[in-house]
Amino acid sequence: MFRRKQKSASSAKDRLQFVLIHDRTNLTPEQMNRLKDELLTVLAKYVSIDGQGVNISVEQDGREQRLLADIPLKPAETLRRR
């Protein structure tokens, strides 16, 4: 009985969460996407990345922001063949 379509206040909160992260870090969504791409390119030089499970985001932690990167790695070739 509590399931309803999203109320306007909760969409305000979601939108604010998004916009405040970009305001506080001075990063546009476009720059954020480039950051992710470049980060993955650099990492791929050293390890093999499982692109499916990659999750990179900026999260709010009190008044501070943190860049969280969850990047699953593929097993090394040698290990896989065994």
Partner 1 sequence: MAAKVITVTSGKGGVGKTTNVANIAAGLALGGSKVVCIDGDIGLRNLDVVLGLENRIVYDLVDVIEGRCRLRQAMIKDKRIADLYLIPAAQTRDKTAVSPSDMVRLCDQMRPEFDWIVIDCPAGIERGFRNALAPADMVLVVTNPEISAVRDADRIIGLVEAEEKGPALLILNRVNMEMVKRGDMLTPDDVVDLLAIELIGIIPEDEQVLVGSNQGVPVVFDQKSRAGQAFRNVCARLNGENVPFMDLEARPALFGRLGKLFRGAAD
Nearest CA-CA partner of 55 in 74, 65, 69, 35: 69
**Number of neighbouring beta carbons within 10 Å of residue 36:** 16
Task: Identify which of residues 1 and 9 has a Cβ nearer to partner 1 in the complex.
Answer: 9
Give phi and psi for 69, each to the nearest 5: -125, 120
Binding residues among 47-76 for partner 1 as defined by CB under 8 A = 60, 62-63
Q: Does 31 participate in binding partner 1 (rule CB under 8 A)?
A: no
How near is the Cβ of 18 to partner 1 at its closest, in Å? 11
Interface contacts to partner 1, rule CB under 8 A: 4, 7-10, 12-13, 15-17, 19-20, 23-24, 60, 62-63
